[in-house]
Structure 1
Amino acid sequence: MHATVAVSLVSALLDHLENAGLERAALLHACGLEPAALVLPQRCIDAAYYEQLLWAGIARLHNPLIGLEFGMDAQPGRWGRLGFLLRHCATLGEALAYQARFAHLVNAIGEGRFVERTDDVAIEWHGPRPVMPAVLEEAFAAWLNFARWASGHDASPLRVEFEHRAQGDPAIYRHFFGCDVHFGCSASRICFDAALLALPLRGADAQLTAYMSAEIDQSARRVASQDIVDQLQNWLLASLGMPAPTLADAAAALQINERTLQQRLNSRDTSFRKSLDAARHTLALRYLGDAGLSVGDISHRLGFSEQSAFQRAFKRWTATTPLAWRRQRYRHSDPA
């Protein structure tokens, strides 16, 4: 699935960064996002905008823990209708089950899978690698903050595990989560006592929960039946490489005639070339977040025949070079 986030989540991040002293208009300009794109809270937009906002906050505030702090400040409203549903569930276990089922409507960068194990239960992160540490830390902190808020119980996990290294003082993580936090693990997960699943939530309303879950389920089905532009974008994001995919490749993969594919794209005021360009832009930003990939590696992964062609395309997208973009994002992200 193409990585998207709900406008409600992006708006909440903008509010958080504005409260920290940054100018909203400057943040929107930095990530190339128009204010008009944020009018409808339930609408989803490309996750690259959300990630760029996190990078901007980290760099401008000189604070690599922006993601964690944003999660610690989580309120149900940032999840739109899903947040409204979760706050009216009967128990924490029911809320977690709905969260796992519908979370992709709010944040499709990755997903938290609810796993019942022998000695505990866990929410495990599953998604594309590499994932920005701030994205993971926001999700984990937000899950716990919601559980505490909705239950009125100051519960703590048994342990928290992250694949990435600590982005700041480990004591800050331990203080918020209230347990040992491990880094450099084989997977990212938050583990807790199964007894916590039975905790009642203070806003329980069975009738409202049934109504909202049915409504959100209809939205989920609409998302599943994506139009041709979304299908093409998803395929390109999964298929980019050397050589670059062609219109004929895409038509065959989508089981549609080339001419029909062109006509449908034209009816949406786009084209295969524009879709390919958009997919390359999205993946370029994601790959540049991985310090282990060189610019040459990224150029090859994106299907450019020459690195210079990638350099020109990236400057057209961002008005800067790949190396300058990477330096700007990482300059202040390492803890002192």
Structure 2
Amino acid sequence: MTPDLTRRRWPVTSLCVLRDTLAARGISLAPFLAAAGLPADLLDDPANEVAASVELRVISAVLQALGDPPGLGLDVGQRYRVAAYGVWGFALLASATLRSALTLGLEYQDLTYSVMPITFVDQAEGSAVNFDDRGLPPSLRRYMVERDIAAARRIAIDLWGEPPPSRAARFRFAEPEGMAPLYEAALQCPVSFGAEGNELLYDRIDLDRPLPQANPVVAALHVEACHERLRRLRGQAPFVETVTACILARPGRFPDLPEVAAELRLSERSLRRRLAEAGIGYRDLVARLRHDLAVDMLTETGMAVEAVAERLGYAETASFTHAFRRWTGQSPSRFGGRRPGVQ
């Protein structure tokens, strides 16, 4: 296991997906959590986090107990919906094409649940998403490759609204005896084994077709600004980052505290308490996010003041202008005019 995995942490969402997959097979994840030293109620709160190295220990124990069944990773991976990735998935949904979504997603792949380096390259035969499993323990490689390729396929379906036409899938591992039809059915494309790398291939023309849910360019820039904001918050308390992702997952409006508490399956009192422990109140967090996003959009995207106010959930431009003067001492039109080329 690489040292990087001992430092990475992420929400328990990924373990919840594994739990639900096993439950559908009549298997409880609870004993495996206990064996890894994790509390029984860890998955009850989606704001909880787990180290990547600890999650891999849980997965390893599951695979050992079940005899490492071929195809389990495919089953798990197909349950990773784009919404499970928070603001990262939100950014992908705003992309104009699958190619631009892949490019943006891989730029910030540390916000995903993958433990493998993933790259996107153009080849003579098409474009390929490559999953490099060589840094993983051999006992985990097949499962992790299955899971991540199936998850990538599931995300592409969420972005398109229907299965996009994959050209082919390739795996480094040998074919599990007689299992090729299972892989082809799950990935809906030709599959080969014993390849030089693990790849999901697409025709270039398909990657460049507009996505059905694509937002206008201005909205895409707004989402990218949200994503950048989350990246800057990574040094804060993990719970604040989780709440931030929940707030930013709704384009054009900022949810109130009861709505965020319900989304995180917490009581309003618990949400207030945990934010207070991190040194910030909910209203202050929303105000700071609005401030930083307003600055980003006015200085980086050249959006009109009216459009910024709308994106930040203000019913009237005058209310936004008043708030912006309070934050910066300047009007948004004057502030935005500092951007080169913006009048």
How would you bin the TM-score normalised by the shorter chain?
A: 0.5 to 0.7
Among candidates 190, 199, 205, match of residue 215 of structure 2:
205
Matches of 1:9 and 1:191, distance apart in 2:
25
2:48 paired with 1:48: no
Cα gap change, 1:209 to 1:154, in 2 (>3 Å): same
Matched residues in 2 for 1:52 and 1:200: separation? 40
State the secondary structure of the residue aligned to 1:2: helix
Structure 2: stretches of 5+ with no match in the other structure: 238-343
Determine the structure 2 residue equivalent to 1:272.
Answer: none
Q: 1:277 matched to which residue of 2? A: none
Q: Report deviation, 1:67.
A: 1.0
Separation of aligned partners in 2, 1:159 and 1:167: 18
User: Residue 109 of structure 2: which of 82, 95, 103 is its match?
Assistant: 103
Structure 2 residue 10 is matched with structure 1 residue 6: yes
Aligned residue pairs, count: 226
* Contact 1:5–1:46 (CA under 8 A) maintained in structure 2: yes
With a CA cutoff of 8 Å and minimum separation of 6, indicate the structure with the bigger relative contact order: 1
Task: Please list every run of at least 4 consecutive aligned residues from structure 1 whose deviation after the TM superposition is greater than 6 angstroms.
Answer: none
Q: Equivalents in 2 of 1:199, 1:61: separation in Å?
A: 42
> Aligned match of 2:160 in 151, 156, 166?
151
How big is the shift at 1:91? Answer: 1.8
CA contact (8 A) 1:161 1:188 kept: yes
Check whether the contact 1:9–1:106 (CA below 8 A) recurs between aligned residues.
no
Q: Compute the RMSD of aligned alpha carbons.
A: 2.9
Instruction: Quickly say closer, same or farther: Cα 1:74–1:85, change in 2 above 3 A.
Output: same
Matched, 1:191 2:195: no
Could you state the TM-score of these two structures normalised by the residue count of structure 2? 0.57
Equivalent AA in structure 1 for residue 192 of structure 2? H
Alignment partner for residue 180 of structure 1, among 181, 186, 190?
190
Cα distance in 1 for partners of 2:59, 2:176 equals: 13
- Map 1:271-282 → 2, pairs under 5 A: none
**8 Å contact from structure 1 (residues 65, 167) kept in 2:** no
* Distance in 1 (alpha carbons) for counterparts of 2:47 and 2:92: 16
Shift, 1:61, TM fit: 4.7
The 1:124–1:48 alpha-carbon spacing in structure 2 relative to 1, beyond 3 Å, is same
Q: 1:166/1:72 Cα in 2 relative to 1: closer, same or farther (>3 Å)?
A: farther
Identical pairs, percent: 22
Deviations 1:146-187 (CA, angstroms, capped at 9, x unpaired): 212321343332221212223461211122223332222222
Following superposition, the deviation at residue 94 of structure 1 comes to 1.7
Residue 140 of structure 1, aligned match among 138, 145, 149: 149
Cα distance change of structure 1 residues 77 and 56 upon mapping to structure 2, 3 Å threshold: farther
Contact persistence 1:5–1:108 (CA under 8 A): no
C-alpha displacement of 1:137: 1.0
8 Å Cα contact 1:5/1:105 also seen in 2? no
> Is there any run of 5+ residues in structure 1 with no aligned partner, and where?
228-336
Q: Secondary structure at the match of 2:128?
A: strand
- Quick check: 1:214 aligned with 2:225? yes
| CA 130–147 in structure 1, closer or farther in 2 if over 3 Å, else same | same
Classify 1:167/1:50 alpha carbon distance in 2 versus 1 (closer, same or farther; 3 Å): farther
- Change beyond 3 A, Cα 1:201–1:119: same
Alpha carbons 1:42, 1:80 under 8 Å: kept = no
Contact kept? 2:91, 2:223, Cα under 8 Å: yes
| Cα gap change, 1:108 to 1:65, in 2 (>3 Å) | closer
What is the rounded CA distance, in whole Å, between the counterparts of 1:208 and 1:10 in structure 2? 32
Cα distance in 2 for partners of 1:183, 1:5 equals: 32
Distance 1:163 1:226 in 2: 39
CA contact (8 A) 1:111 1:125 kept: yes
Structure 1 residue identity aligned to 2:73: G
Match of 1:287 in 2: none
**Alignment-derived partner of residue 77 in structure 2:** 71
TM-aligned CA distance change 1:26 to 1:5, over 3 Å: same
Q: Which amino acid aligns with 1:77?
A: A
User: Is the partner of 1:209 in helix, strand or coil?
Assistant: helix
Deviations 1:283-315 (A, max 9, x none): xxxxxxxxxxxxxxxxxxxxxxxxxxxxxxxxx
Q: Does the CA contact (< 8 Å) of 1:157 and 1:179 recur in 2?
A: yes
User: In structure 2, how many angstroms separate the alpha carbons of the residues matched to 1:5 and 1:64?
Assistant: 27
TM-score (norm: length of structure 1): 0.58
Highest Rg: 1 or 2?
2
Amino acid at match of 2:196: S
Task: Tell me how far apart the structure 1 counterparts of residues 175 and 58 of structure 2 sit (CA, whole Å).
Answer: 20
Q: For the residues of structure 2 that align with 1:67 and 1:107, how far apart are their CA atoms?
A: 14
